[in-house]
Amino acid sequence: MRVRVTVMLKDGVLDPPGKAIGHALHTLGFPNVGTVRAGRVIELELDETDPGRAKAQADEMGRKLLANLVIETFTTEVVR
């Protein structure tokens, strides 16, 4: 089963990549872009058939390794 973990910086944490992306979009002619936040997406293939257990495992992985909970938040979803 495939799960997706999306990790983002918490609000208020400086986001240099997001700032750079926002600036680049403005210079490319997209002036209506407001704040940009950059994060990362991690897809995991788990040897699991139960979606609830797969999500629980991904949540645990997020807490233990994939996200720095001091400055980041994460969400998980089963994508099969």
What is the pLDDT at residue 64? Answer: 98
Q: Name the β-bridge partners of 74.
A: 7
Is residue 7 within 8 Å of residue 72, measured between CB atoms? yes
- H or E stretch including 44? strand 39-45
For residue 10 the two structure tokens come to 């918490």
Note the pLDDT tens digit of each residue in 45-76. Answer: 999 999 999 999 999 999 999 999 999 999 99
Measured CA to CA, the distance from residue 25 to residue 33 in angstroms comes to: 7
What is the pLDDT at residue 8? Answer: 98
- H or E stretch including 77? strand 72-78
What is the pLDDT at residue 80? Answer: 79
Note the pLDDT tens digit of each residue in 3-58. Answer: 999 999 999 999 999 999 999 999 999 999 999 999 999 999 999 999 999 999 99
Q: Is 4 helix (H, G, I), strand (E, B) or coil?
A: strand
